[in-house]
Structure 1
Amino acid sequence: MVQRNETQPNGQIIDYLKYYVELEAPRYAVLLNGPWGSGKTHLIQSFLDNHFSSPPSRSRSIAKRILKYLITPGMNRYFNDKAQERSASNYIYISLYGLKSDEDISARIIASAIPGLGLKSSKILGGIIKPFLSTLQYAKLIPDLSARDFISKFHKKTYIFDDIERCEIPIKQLLGYINQFIEHGERNVILVANTDEIPDTKDFTTTQEKLVGKTFRIEPPIEEAVENFLKQLNNSPAMKLIQDNPETFSSLFRQSESKNLRVLQQALRDIERPLNALNREQFENIEGVLFLAKLIFTFSLEVRSRRMTPAILEARPQQMTELFKKFGEKNEQEKDFCKIESSYTDIDLRDPILSNDTLADIIFHGIVNAEHIQKSVTQSHFFREAQDERALDKLMYVYDLDETEFKQVRAQFESEYQNHEFRTPEDIFLSFSRRRWLSENKLLNVSLEKVSEQGDQYLEHLYETGQFPIVERDRFEGRDYAEFNGKYFDFSFKSRPLEPKHFLDTFLSLNEKARQDLYPSIVESMMAEMTDAPETFCHRISRKSFDTPSHINAEILLEMDPEAFSKRLLELHPAKQRPVLNALSSRYTFTNYSAELSGEKEWLKKLTLHLERTAKSASVFERNRIRSNIERYLKPHIGYY
């Protein structure tokens, strides 16, 4: 039966342990169960420190203590009934972590009995004294280390065995050893474990039913832990603010559903360096500093709980440009991010107070760049002065304005719109969305139809004046206008009318035209790069760059004149011609990207014909070299014709 205290986590456990350790020969063990980092060891250590009085520490060195108690008659003092009865701390606490035999446990128990040694010292000493104890046994100076004979002479009343799941002894054998303390030694035994990590679950369950009389599930003492962990941080102005708001971080930790207090401690520590990177003026913005701390803390919780990966963080749709980033598994990563953010009600994880790159540096790489952090937060709405905030951004919080302020902001916004000042993808979609929303709510004296017409005209003006922001087309795959109608604020349309979809289609059409307009200059640059920087050219044309923005895609390659490509290639030194052809060949090797499917096969055939034509009029040596390269690097992808 699992005991739980809903109002005061672990309070009832402490009460029961006080009762249990006073029992005489209870003939059952108590199990404290909980995941790693839930505070099991801390709870039992606190109980022992408070319930048992420790013997006074003596001034002699550890080395002297060890020598005193590992030789007779010192060791015999610990196998003497009266001495045991007089002992002020009538318990033995050991960790079973890494122990491989019953003798290892016995050695560690003896090491733990030496006064003044801490847990770490007793662990080390347990390994050191085991061979020495064998010598003492042989000389009959101490009893045998077998459990039953050991218990009959060793009279500590209470035994605590921690880290059950980390012991390397088979669980059935381990529990059999411990059972001798309960059945034959009539001792009080407390087991501390994370039963979810015990490998032999069936053996453990079967044996546990006979051995354990009470099982308690440890509930992490979150509020107490947060306050204690915060006290360990430096007392800088920013951290003082964090230390004054422990309930904020307790709430976020609960929402994460993590039970690991080590994760909590590490996440709180992750806050300190980024906040100390803020300048003095930014320190004074209490709301902004606290939000920044919450954001870093929450992302750190998710990363340390292994739910957040760099790719998921990269997919965080904090800005429109983030939505356009290309990843093969992009949609899945966005779903993973949405699943994570749905757990948190106290914070907006998409707020752009820190860019995704800066967050990744902090959380994944431990890099705290003060310049980047200060620049990022300065642009945030938390730190931006009201007079510096753009009209477009103020319209995101339109009902926070009074009517006079609203009219001023609207006039400024309309002026900026008519002057075509919104030129980034995010601002283009955001401004169009705001105008539609204003029109729908009778706050703009322009009809919805006119707003859509003016939206198309806006895009066409940017294209005609060479200001259209080009975005890779495949970054729009599987998306519709609803995802771009204003950052992550949804002023969306209940009926999803066709006008917004038309605006997106117009954007895509002009985006394609603007891309194609750049092809001639890109091709010219690529051809020059083959001569001036052949290694860079090889990387960009090969499969190695396939998922990067620098990759020369099929459209660019097909714009290159095969004859001009052939001439430029043959102008290179022969030692540099081969790497170019090898990179081109690798484009279709060990990938799903074939010359046939990409439409590049005909281009390769034309390139081959121009090379063969040149080879015919070349010297015998040159002809053989060119044809050798054709056979090795081009023919496998175009066939023989």
Structure 2
Amino acid sequence: MPTESNKQVWDYLTYYIDLAHAPGFAVLVSGRWGVGKTYLLKDFLKVTFDEDAANYVYVSLYGLSSIEEIDDALFQAAFPVMTGTAAKVAGRIAKAGLKFLKVEPGDWNIKEFLNKFRAKVYVFDDLERCEAPINKVLGYINQFVEHGGAKVIILANEQEIGADEDYARRREKLIGKTLQVRSVFDEAFKHFVSNIDHAGARGFIEVAASDIATIYGQADLDNLRILQQTMWDFERFFAALLPEHTANKEAVTTLLRLLFVLSFEFKGARASEEDILTGRGMTAAIMDQFDKEAPRRPLAVAGERYPMVDIDDNVLSNELLVDYLVRGVVDADAIREELNASRFFVSVANEPAWRTVWHWYERSDAEFDAALAKMETQFKQRAFTIDGEILHVCGLRLFLADKGILKLSKADVVAECKQYVDDLYAAKKLETGAADDPREIRFQGWGGLGICESDTAEYKAIFKHLISTIQQSVVDSYPDRAKQLLSLMISEVDAFYRQVSLSHADASKYVRSPVLAKMPVDDFVNAYLALHPSEQRVVMMALKGRYEYGRLDQQLKEEKPWIVAVHAALTKRLQELSPISQRRVGMHLEWYDEIVKTSKELATPA
């Protein structure tokens, strides 16, 4: 049954259906996408006709691109018994329906159809999403009203149709009454809550109903579909939390408000992935204050739309939010880790010093001063060895120098940070969470926090130096890694396959690194020939998977001389083998001969 806000829609449709004569016009039920038009009308039809679907025909025009396709949809709606049969084959549905009505194809017209099939009302939904020309679609529907005397209800979002002269002219002829559907939050919310399976999430959302209603109203999207999707997404997020997280009501309330607001903004196309990734957080907010001439960032505008929510709250990182909102990724481990490091669950005493400095706006002067002193001591001791921590500390030092808190120029900070990286490299203490591909290192954030000063030339210089040093450190490690791989090939050939072949689902950091170029050719050949034939085959499969699709022309080009040398060495050793071994190894070599031929041509000196 309708709520008070849409009672006028229900009442008029009841009046229209009950007319004893042909009305001579159609009724348009209009409203924005997701407002609940379809839900309201299907509920109306169910109640009005006591769930007897034989009294109405409901046709969705969504994606239909021709009158023929609309014919098919009409027959399929009128005769659902044909659904799932051979009649669904393209072009067969309408023909099967005509046969069912005992009408010859040449005699087909809508008036003839209405004479044979007398429904009390015909409904055409999603008018704005029909891909056929709008004037032809309205002309088609008009035949039901003008020539068949039928009662017709059309559902559409007229805002998406736009100002079209043909539409306006045909609309005036066809539509006798327009009914505007309004979003009905309370009714829809109760229905959506009932469909949430996770008991904890369902209970918390019910408790937060007032907050959600307020945010929904402030969003002014009037879109119940977005509300439902957001609630389902939050259910998945809530399920990733631990009991100690859900027990902190302030934390979970903060999360719900932030996630609902960002979901509404993203799903409502008012904020993009890039806006969330780079245009949210303390750094973005500070930049707003300094650059008054720049266009306002979308999330700053959104922040004014929702006065009860801090849209720049750092309780979750922008990277995690993008994964959740844009890609649908709910990484329980990442969520828990970031929450544990947030202000709701971490104590300053247990917090890394650089994190306390980063949270300067939430820490007391005494806490900040103690943390800064400790961070600087750790910097002098070269205690930070992970790439993300190094970048955070360098960014913070640039920020503090800029504010006069650290008595250094920004140029001095750059020089000191570069020296810091060089010292770690010399001591072989430089670590990287990005393994062999420094390009994967987050430029703007790490550990759930955005890096200070990441948009400055000074920070970019430090970042570039760190990346190049890590790359060199990785290259320096190749000889040791090559020895490890050779040992692995001898002891556990399947593990060797997983480590070096991109065609394997468990492919590791060795896949994109030219580590094999540092493996002595004779050592590899001797180890290979000593393997059992079944293990030799696995090695060749690994190499084939490693080098196919042109990878020797890309990231593994430094291995070209190596693989050519291996091929030549194995070919030379063939004469030392038994006839059957010669045949077997020769067949293995043929598996990647084409790759080697290409490599020979490209590796041959000019």
TM-score (norm 2): 0.67
CA drift of 1:550 comes to 3.5
Residues 33 and 195, structure 1, Cα contact 8 Å, conserved in 2: yes
In structure 2, distance between residues paired with 1:608 and 1:638: 11
| Residue matched to 2:572 | 613
In structure 2, distance between residues paired with 1:553 and 1:107: 58
Instruction: In structure 1, give the amino acid aligned to 2:574.
Output: A
Instruction: In structure 1, give the amino acid aligned to 2:255.
Output: L
Residues 29 and 178, structure 2, Cα contact 8 Å, conserved in 1: yes
Structure 2 residue aligned with 1:250, among 212, 216, 230?
Answer: 216
| Residue matched to 1:211 | 174
Structure 2 residue aligned with 1:179, among 145, 154, 172?
Answer: 145
In structure 1, distance between residues paired with 2:252 and 2:327: 21
Task: Work out whether 1:396 is the aligned partner of 2:358.
Answer: yes
CA drift of 1:467 comes to 2.5
Provide the aligned length of Structure 1 versus Structure 2: 530
TM-superposition CA deviations, 1:452-496 (whole Å, max 9, x none): 34323432343344331134565438x997x469976464388x4
Cα distance change on mapping 1:281 and 1:189 into 2, 3 Å: same
Instruction: Give the number of the structure whose alpha-carbon radius of gyration is greater.
Output: 1
Task: Work out whether 1:147 is the aligned partner of 2:114.
Answer: yes
| Residue matched to 1:408 | 370
CA drift of 1:430 comes to 0.9
| Residue matched to 2:24 | 27
Unpaired segments of 5 or more residues in structure 1?
1-7, 71-91, 109-129, 136-143, 320-338
TM-superposition CA deviations, 1:557-601 (whole Å, max 9, x none): 111111111111111122332342243234443446449981433
Residues 354 and 377, structure 1, Cα contact 8 Å, conserved in 2: no
Residues 566 and 610, structure 1, Cα contact 8 Å, conserved in 2: yes
In structure 1, distance between residues paired with 2:323 and 2:446: 27
Structure 1 residue aligned with 2:406, among 440, 444, 451?
Answer: 444
CA drift of 1:525 comes to 1.4
Which range moves more in the overlay, 270-279 or 241-250?
Answer: 270-279
Cα distance change on mapping 1:409 and 1:375 into 2, 3 Å: closer
In structure 2, distance between residues paired with 1:252 and 1:526: 59
Trace 1:219-368 onto structure 2 (pairs within 5 A).
220-221=183-184, 225-226=188-189, 229=192, 238-250=204-216, 254=220, 260-272=223-235, 274-275=237-238, 278=241, 281-294=244-257, 296-297=259-260, 345=303, 351=314, 353=316
TM-superposition CA deviations, 1:308-367 (whole Å, max 9, x none): 99xx89x96899xxxxxxxxxxxxxxxxxxx99799546658956389789969997898
In structure 2, distance between residues paired with 1:11 and 1:190: 17
In structure 2, distance between residues paired with 1:356 and 1:415: 30
CA drift of 1:539 comes to 4.2
Task: Work out whether 1:534 is the aligned partner of 2:493.
Answer: yes
Cα distance change on mapping 1:353 and 1:146 into 2, 3 Å: closer
TM-score (norm 1): 0.64
In structure 1, distance between residues paired with 2:533 and 2:482: 23
CA drift of 1:391 comes to 3.1
CA drift of 1:250 comes to 0.8
Residues 32 and 40, structure 1, Cα contact 8 Å, conserved in 2: yes
Cα distance change on mapping 1:230 and 1:250 into 2, 3 Å: farther
Structure 2 residue aligned with 1:523, among 473, 479, 482?
Answer: 482
In structure 2, distance between residues paired with 1:134 and 1:205: 35
Trace 1:149-168 onto structure 2 (pairs within 5 A).
159=121, 161=123, 163=125
| Residue matched to 1:578 | 537
Aligned to 2:430, what secondary structure does the other structure show?
coil
| Residue matched to 1:88 | none
Task: Work out whether 1:192 is the aligned partner of 2:155.
Answer: yes
How large is the RMSD of aligned CA atoms in angstroms? 5.6
Trace 1:77-156 onto structure 2 (pairs within 5 A).
95-96=58-59, 147=114
Residues 395 and 409, structure 1, Cα contact 8 Å, conserved in 2: yes
CA drift of 1:416 comes to 3.3
Residues 439 and 445, structure 1, Cα contact 8 Å, conserved in 2: yes
| Residue matched to 2:288 | none
Instruction: In structure 2, give the amino acid aligned to 1:492.
Output: E
In structure 2, distance between residues paired with 1:103 and 1:516: 68
Which range moves more in the overlay, 400-409 or 485-494?
Answer: 485-494
Cα distance change on mapping 1:423 and 1:519 into 2, 3 Å: same
Cα distance change on mapping 1:317 and 1:615 into 2, 3 Å: farther
Task: Work out whether 1:492 is the aligned partner of 2:458.
Answer: no
Unpaired segments of 5 or more residues in structure 2?
61-69, 81-96, 103-110, 281-296, 304-308
Structure 1 residue aligned with 2:422, among 449, 460, 463?
Answer: 460
Residues 339 and 345, structure 2, Cα contact 8 Å, conserved in 1: yes
In structure 2, distance between residues paired with 1:368 and 1:547: 19
What percentage of residue pairs aligned between the two structures are identical? 24
In structure 1, distance between residues paired with 2:448 and 2:519: 38
Cα distance change on mapping 1:300 and 1:492 into 2, 3 Å: closer
CA drift of 1:243 comes to 1.8
TM-superposition CA deviations, 1:517-569 (whole Å, max 9, x none): 32222111111222222233234433415995434345201111111111111
| Residue matched to 1:38 | 35
TM-superposition CA deviations, 1:208-260 (whole Å, max 9, x none): 55322344565544577447645876687633442231245416865xx6x65
